[in-house]
Chain A
Amino acid sequence: MIVHSREPLSAQNTQTIALVGNPNSGKTSLFNRLTGQRRKVANYPGVTVDRHVGAVTRDPNTQLIDLPGCYSLVSRSLDEQLARDVLFGWIRNEQTPDGVIVVVDASNLERNLFLATQVIDLGLPTIVACNMIDVVRDRRDQLDTHKLAQQLGVPVIGTDARTGEGLDELHNAIRALDSPTTKAMGHPAKRTPFDKPAQSAFQEMSNVVTSRNLATPSMTDGIARILIAPDSVSDDGDTWNKLSPDDKHAIITARNAIETPVASLVCQRYDTIATIVSAVHIKNSDGRPTATDRIDRVLTHRFWGLTISSTIMGAMFLAVFSGAAPLMDGVEFVVSQLATAARSLLGTGVFADLVVNGVIAGVGNVVVFVPQIAILFFIIAFLEDSGYMARVAFVMDRIMSATGLHGRSFIPLLSSFACAVPAIMAARTIDSRRDRLTTIMVAPLMSCSARLPVYIVIISAVFAGNVWLEAGILFTMYALGLVTALMIAAVLKRTILKGPPATFILELPPYRRPRFTIVCRETWDRTKPFLTQAGTVILAFSVILWALAYYPRANNTSPDNIDTTAQLRQSYIGRLGQTIEPVIKPLGFDWKIGVGLASSFAAREVFVATMGVVHGVGEDADETSVPLREKLLNDKWPDGRRVLTPLVGVSLMVFYVFACQCMSTLAIVKRETNGWRWPTFMFCYMTTLAYVASFVVYQGGQALGLG
């Protein structure tokens, strides 16, 4: 049961208006136009679907909620279900919105009116914004918005969110939303007509809605029209929803008993729409191919399409890899300056060490990835806004289908070569929950940029001198991660994330010039959570790791003259390395490598610095450091054998390919999946995989006499 009240959400006289529309209808541009800079991004309770809310600039008492794009209120994805629940007033701790603006792509009117009429049927005060009215004009077509308003029974305003055309009228309409004339428009007479059998079916569902008190009387009929059709959203995890299990059960029971021919409902609605469209839309456009047709002819061409998409992806990879390098150097410089300043300010002692080596170094290890993340998201947002991203999914779908995933998973997996964190966040564009989880679970198997320093220090130590061998081994490590990721995805899709085959019904929107402000905004919206939410977890882990290396103190050292090697050896983390030596010995690793592995959990490239400390080269060691290389090669087991043989080197690199040694990744997986279950699973399966693979490499290699 749901308690209804139409009391204002917060301060008096505030009204909340929901902005709803098809994907690619320009809804977000319109939201930005209406709210300006005054907006905030939050989550719906219990799910990680962004909730964009902003106050209307010209009317600060009006709050606008930008709902996720959807094609129908009969929901097929998490996004669509949330949009539906907001309109129905089914979000926990929230009221039914006071009004709705349906954004309609005027150049694709017929299909867009499907959702619009469903929303109008709900009986809430509604405005239809016919966006992209400029495209209609450019085609020399005509759209009579006045006539459309008469037909739909709600105010219709032609808008162009790019130029701001129609915005004055839209503001006026928003102000008039609670006027009697607009309210009268939600009159039942204006709802989409249906035949007798459909109406009696609606009535039966309405009775259930009424008896369980799921809606206000004025909305009951409109809601029943939606609930009658089976939606394909799983129940698990919809904690944001006010419905009780009994409510859901009652709806499903009624739905099964009524046996409505859903096809007939869709047809009847579209019949009404066709009549409306023929009355208001005059088509003058000839059959000439549009610009989008001409561009697609090249961009999805058998040869050129693949060449161009490979080039674009290659360039994206390069930009993230090398374009971010100067910025990362900048971040590292700032971090080291901060550390120096803190050191000179705080002197020596536990607190100074905590601040410098724990907080600043730890957070610095993570903040250094921000340039890569921001660049990657900038490029993705740019490609998305241009309409090209849908083409990438279109072109790559065949390859991805072999794993049981679809084209939408391609970009997150590719991005993961740079860094798994933005890749995992980019997986949000995947509508199926299982596919999204599968993509998230395998993304960290791609060799990210943090593994590169590790690969380089090992390869340059044990395979020095043969450039082709060095390059070949490096390539093999990257390929190993990629192939394994696809294999694991295929396994997950057939086992624990088994579900109906991924539906790939994807709209290919017309190409448009990306808008700089939207692209920047997208970039910031996706980069910020990494800095804030993940940042808190990372800070905590950094401090813990610092303490493990700092305590207990070696008692014979003065604070000014610390033997870092001895200190590390007898610290908790050093002891941990020695304790786990029997476990990692079958992989060919000694306790010093064990310390490196343990400290890599902060970030993989910390391995190099740790090796520097363990071998007494100093913390400033990097992957090109010659003394470190020599020390690594001279390291001996007690019986005099060399530790880092080529076989151990390969075993160690294989371990790094598979192991989940990245707290940023785990933190972001926790955020994106809303709990510790999936990050725990990820950590366990990757660590097991790493151990088994290294074991096979080392023991197998020894058996073959390669040791």
Chain B
Amino acid sequence: MTIATTGTTTLDRLPIGSQARVTGIDDKTGNADRLMEMGLLVGRPVEVARVAPFGDPIQIKVMGYHLSLRSTVARGIAVEIENASTTS
């Protein structure tokens, strides 16, 4: 798995601490509506806060609160990196 530092990637590959913006949600898992209702909207900022001890799920920060998603779901969320992390 490659970790992107700039450009477009998916949420599961976003490095911890990097600021990004949602560019699209793929509805393969059938969760797109709920993800949007939870604040993951195209154009909105999103950040990966941390990863669970066993590597999955991830904890993201969106609309100022924390949400946990599995990587399989996060893979369907396209993001554009805005501000690469300085900590990792």
Do A and B truly interact? yes
Residues of chain B within 8 A of A292, CB atoms compared: 66
Residues of chain B within 8 A of A501, CB atoms compared: 29, 72
> Per-residue CB proximity of A15-57 to B under 8 Å, as 1/0?
0000000000000000000000000000000000000000000
Report yes or no: A397 in contact with B52, Cβ–Cβ below 8 A. Answer: yes
Report yes or no: B37 in contact with A74, Cβ–Cβ below 8 A. Answer: yes
Give me the 9 closest cross-chain CB pairs, A-B, nearest first: A398-B54, A508-B66, A266-B36, A506-B68, A302-B53, A72-B37, A108-B65, A398-B56, A394-B68
Residues of chain A within 8 A of B53, CB atoms compared: 300-303, 305-306, 395, 398
Report yes or no: A293 in contact with B49, Cβ–Cβ below 8 A. Answer: yes
B7 lies within 8 A of chain A by Cβ: no
Report yes or no: A505 in contact with B64, Cβ–Cβ below 8 A. Answer: no
Residues of chain B within 8 A of A300, CB atoms compared: 50, 52-53, 59
B4 lies within 8 A of chain A by Cβ: no
- 20 additional A-B pairs beyond A71-B38, A263-B25, A398-B53, beta carbons within 8 Å, are A72-B34, A74-B33, A74-B37, A108-B63, A108-B64, A110-B63, A111-B63, A114-B37, A229-B33, A263-B36, A297-B50, A393-B68, A395-B52, A397-B56, A398-B54, A503-B34, A504-B57, A505-B34, A505-B68, A507-B67
Report yes or no: A398 in contact with B55, Cβ–Cβ below 8 A. Answer: yes
How far is it, in angstroms, between the C-alpha of A303 and the C-alpha of B34 when the chains are bound? 32
A496 lies within 8 A of chain B by Cβ: no
How far is it, in angstroms, between the C-alpha of A397 and the C-alpha of B29 when the chains are bound? 17
Report yes or no: A267 in contact with B42, Cβ–Cβ below 8 A. Answer: yes
A142 lies within 8 A of chain B by Cβ: no
Subset of 17 A-B contacts with CB under 8 Å: A74-B33, A111-B63, A229-B33, A262-B33, A266-B41, A267-B41, A292-B66, A297-B50, A306-B53, A395-B53, A398-B53, A398-B56, A503-B30, A504-B73, A505-B31, A507-B66, A507-B68
Report yes or no: A508 in contact with B68, Cβ–Cβ below 8 A. Answer: yes
> Per-residue CB proximity of A503-531 to B under 8 Å, as 1/0?
11111110000000000000000000000
Residues of chain A within 8 A of B56, CB atoms compared: 397-398, 401
> Per-residue CB proximity of B76-88 to A under 8 Å, as 1/0?
0000000000000
Residues of chain A within 8 A of B69, CB atoms compared: 504-505
Residues of chain A within 8 A of B52, CB atoms compared: 300, 394-395, 397-398
Q: Contacting A508 at CB < 8 Å: which of B54, B55, B59?
A: B59
Chain A positions within 8 Å of B, measured between CB atoms, are 71-72, 74, 76, 108, 110-111, 114, 229-230, 232, 262-263, 266-267, 270, 292-293, 296-297, 300-303, 305-306, 390, 393-395, 397-399, 401, 407, 500-501, 503-509
Residues of chain A within 8 A of B34, CB atoms compared: 71-72, 76, 503, 505
Residues of chain A within 8 A of B70, CB atoms compared: 397, 401, 504
Residues of chain A within 8 A of B42, CB atoms compared: 267
What is the minimal beta-carbon distance from A406 to any residue of chain B, in angstroms?
Answer: 8
What is the minimal beta-carbon distance from A580 to any residue of chain B, in angstroms?
Answer: 46
How far is it, in angstroms, between the C-alpha of A416 and the C-alpha of B74 when the chains are bound? 32
Residues of chain B within 8 A of A508, CB atoms compared: 59, 66-68
Residues of chain A within 8 A of B67, CB atoms compared: 505-508
Q: Contacting B36 at CB < 8 Å: which of A76, A267, A506?
A: A267
How far is it, in angstroms, between the C-alpha of A297 and the C-alpha of B49 when the chains are bound? 9
- Residue of chain B at shortest CB distance from A114: B37
Report yes or no: B59 in contact with A232, Cβ–Cβ below 8 A. Answer: no
Known: A505-B34, A508-B67. A110 touches B54 (CB 8 A): no
How far is it, in angstroms, between the C-alpha of A292 and the C-alpha of B49 when the chains are bound? 12
How far is it, in angstroms, between the C-alpha of A303 and the C-alpha of B53 when the chains are bound? 7
Report yes or no: A232 in contact with B30, Cβ–Cβ below 8 A. Answer: yes
Residues of chain A within 8 A of B32, CB atoms compared: 263
What is the minimal beta-carbon distance from A398 to any residue of chain B, in angstroms?
Answer: 3
Residues of chain B within 8 A of A296, CB atoms compared: 49-50, 59, 66
How far is it, in angstroms, between the C-alpha of A110 and the C-alpha of B63 when the chains are bound? 7
- Most chain A beta-carbon neighbours within 10 Å: one of B33, B59, B72: B33
How far is it, in angstroms, between the C-alpha of A181 and the C-alpha of B31 when the chains are bound? 40
What is the minimal beta-carbon distance from B17 to any residue of chain A, in angstroms?
Answer: 11
How far is it, in angstroms, between the C-alpha of A26 and the C-alpha of B52 when the chains are bound? 26
What is the minimal beta-carbon distance from B67 to any residue of chain A, in angstroms?
Answer: 6
Residues of chain B within 8 A of A111, CB atoms compared: 38-39, 63, 65
- Most chain A beta-carbon neighbours within 10 Å: one of B30, B42, B63, B73: B63
What is the minimal beta-carbon distance from B44 to any residue of chain A, in angstroms?
Answer: 8
How far is it, in angstroms, between the C-alpha of A263 and the C-alpha of B65 when the chains are bound? 21
Report yes or no: A504 in contact with B37, Cβ–Cβ below 8 A. Answer: no
Residues of chain B within 8 A of A301, CB atoms compared: 53
- Residue of chain A at shortest CB distance from B71: A398
How far is it, in angstroms, between the C-alpha of A262 and the C-alpha of B30 when the chains are bound? 13
How far is it, in angstroms, between the C-alpha of A266 and the C-alpha of B33 when the chains are bound? 8
What is the minimal beta-carbon distance from B33 to any residue of chain A, in angstroms?
Answer: 5
- Residue of chain B at shortest CB distance from A301: B53
Residues of chain B within 8 A of A305, CB atoms compared: 53
What is the minimal beta-carbon distance from A347 to any residue of chain B, in angstroms?
Answer: 64
How far is it, in angstroms, between the C-alpha of A505 and the C-alpha of B53 when the chains are bound? 17
Residues of chain B within 8 A of A507, CB atoms compared: 38, 65-68
Report yes or no: A110 in contact with B36, Cβ–Cβ below 8 A. Answer: no
Report yes or no: B68 in contact with A110, Cβ–Cβ below 8 A. Answer: no
What is the minimal beta-carbon distance from A434 to any residue of chain B, in angstroms?
Answer: 15
Report yes or no: A110 in contact with B64, Cβ–Cβ below 8 A. Answer: yes
Q: Contacting B30 at CB < 8 Å: which of A74, A303, A393, A500?
A: A500
- Residue of chain B at shortest CB distance from A263: B36
Residues of chain B within 8 A of A509, CB atoms compared: 65-66
- Residue of chain B at shortest CB distance from A115: B37
What is the minimal beta-carbon distance from A363 to any residue of chain B, in angstroms?
Answer: 43
What is the minimal beta-carbon distance from A502 to any residue of chain B, in angstroms?
Answer: 9
How far is it, in angstroms, between the C-alpha of A562 and the C-alpha of B38 when the chains are bound? 70
Residues of chain A within 8 A of B50, CB atoms compared: 296-297, 300
Residues of chain A within 8 A of B63, CB atoms compared: 108, 110-111
Report yes or no: A504 in contact with B33, Cβ–Cβ below 8 A. Answer: no
Residues of chain B within 8 A of A506, CB atoms compared: 57, 67-68
How far is it, in angstroms, between the C-alpha of A54 and the C-alpha of B56 when the chains are bound? 42
- Residue of chain B at shortest CB distance from A503: B31
What is the minimal beta-carbon distance from A531 to any residue of chain B, in angstroms?
Answer: 35
What is the minimal beta-carbon distance from B28 to any residue of chain A, in angstroms?
Answer: 11
How far is it, in angstroms, between the C-alpha of A624 and the C-alpha of B25 when the chains are bound? 63
Report yes or no: A505 in contact with B30, Cβ–Cβ below 8 A. Answer: no
How far is it, in angstroms, between the C-alpha of A401 and the C-alpha of B72 when the chains are bound? 12
What is the minimal beta-carbon distance from A304 to any residue of chain B, in angstroms?
Answer: 9
How far is it, in angstroms, between the C-alpha of A293 and the C-alpha of B50 when the chains are bound? 10
